[in-house]
Amino acid sequence: MGKRVATGFVIACVLVIAFVSRMLTPYVFDILIGFLACGALLEMARVLERTRRHPYFEAIGLYPAVMYLVLYFAMESSYSFWWLLLYIVAVAVALCMVSMIVSLIFIKITREEMEKYGLQDKNIFVFICQKAWTTFQVLMYPGFMFGLLFIINHLPYMAIPVVESDTLYDYFLLVSIFAITTTTDTLAMLTGMLCKGPKLCPRISPKKTISGAIGGLIGGILSCLITYICFNINPTFHAFVESIHFPIWAAVLLGFGGSIFCQVGDLVASWFKRRARVKDYGTIFPGHGGVMDRVDGLIFTTIIVFFVGLIII
């Protein structure tokens, strides 16, 4: 418990520094997102490898940087949101295709890799296609979600007129993502420990209870509501949310949807761990596990916050 508390304190400090720094520049937050993306992608790849699914680690390691560069230049060129989402997928497809071509060019190395995995009797083209498909899956989950975070972080700096920096709306979306995720996870754990009761999904995550899920849901709603009220003190933010018809009940719905998605993301990540028969995705955060153990709910919360934010504006 001591390690968990100490690590949690360090994580909280890093987040505070990142959010404060973002008042001056978005690029510090980009570094944080990039670090989380690289760690989560590689951890997911290693977990899938334990289930005898072999991805291209080189493509997975390159994806966050390549995706960021493509998104950055696309956002500077007046592309719509839908084009940006298409580019996130296109980068993943391109890296998978390049990896396949390289495997065919260096076919001798590919055969040695197959022997290493005990797959020398398998068709080499099938092996390459399966590696590419596994890689694409990792680049979409969790990679795609981090692309959404990059876009939200740069909303005021996009060439298309979406959100001005002085409205604080982009800042509100980012804070809401982390606030909903943190309170959902924390209150779900505390409520589950205190109230216990029937299990939520015993085959996937034996420790999660229905009471914990309800506590987490209430926490997610309250955190988004409090975040909205705090930001609404700012006259510019208040005027902007009034202009886009984003009342206080919309913040309640955002917290509700974000909390549900957060808990679904947690269960999805647990399902992958159970299939691979591992307790944690990694050990980078003592007492907390790996990066994916910390962001499994956050990346799903990002989906709902991103699309709700787009629909509203």
Helix segments in 50-142, DSSP class H: 57-75, 81-105, 107-116, 124-140
> What are the sequence ranges of the domains in the chain?
1-162, 163-313
Q: Is the dihedral of CA 90, 264, 47, 203 positive or negative?
A: negative
- State the amino acid at position 257 in one-letter form: G
User: Residues 12-54: pLDDT tens digits?
Assistant: 899 999 999 998 889 999 999 999 999 999 999 999 999 999 9
Predicted pLDDT at 226: 97
Say which residue, 119 or 133, is predicted with more confidence: 133
Identify the band that residue 155 occupies on the pLDDT scale cut at 50, 70 and 90: confident
- The owner of tokens 């008042």 is 23
Say what the pLDDT of residue 160 is.
Answer: 66
Query: Could you tell me what percent of the chain has a pLDDT over 70?
Result: 97
Residues 6+ apart with CB under 8 A from 167: 156, 236, 237, 240
Output the average pLDDT for the chain: 91
Choice between 164 and 63, residue whose per-residue pLDDT is larger: 63
Which secondary-structure segment (H or E) carries 179? helix 169-195
Is pLDDT above 70 for 2? no
Give the pLDDT score at 6: 80
Q: What is the average per-residue pLDDT within 220-248? A: 94
pTM: 0.94
Give the whole-number percent of the chain exceeding pLDDT 90: 71
Average pLDDT over residues 136-157: 94
Angle at 189 between CA 182 and CA 138, to 5 degrees: 60
Task: Give the pLDDT band (50/70/90) at residue 82.
Answer: confident
Buried b (16+ CB within 10 A) or exposed e, 52-82: ebbbbbebbebbbeebbebbeebbeeebebe
CA distance 56 to 54: 7
pLDDT at 71 over 70: yes
Residue 132 CA to residue 126 CA, distance in Å, equals 10
Does the pLDDT value for residue 70 go beyond 80? yes
Find out whether 220 and 212 touch, Cβ atoms under 8 Å.
Answer: no
Name the more confident of 4 and 284.
284
On the 0-12 / 13-18 / 19+ scale of CB atoms within 10 A, 276 is middle
Provide the pLDDT confidence category of residue 5 given band limits of 50, 70 and 90: confident
Sorting pLDDT into bands at 50, 70 and 90, what band is 11?
A: confident
Q: What is the pLDDT of residue 78?
A: 65
**Who wins on pLDDT, 196 or 233?**
233
Indicate the residue type of 61: G
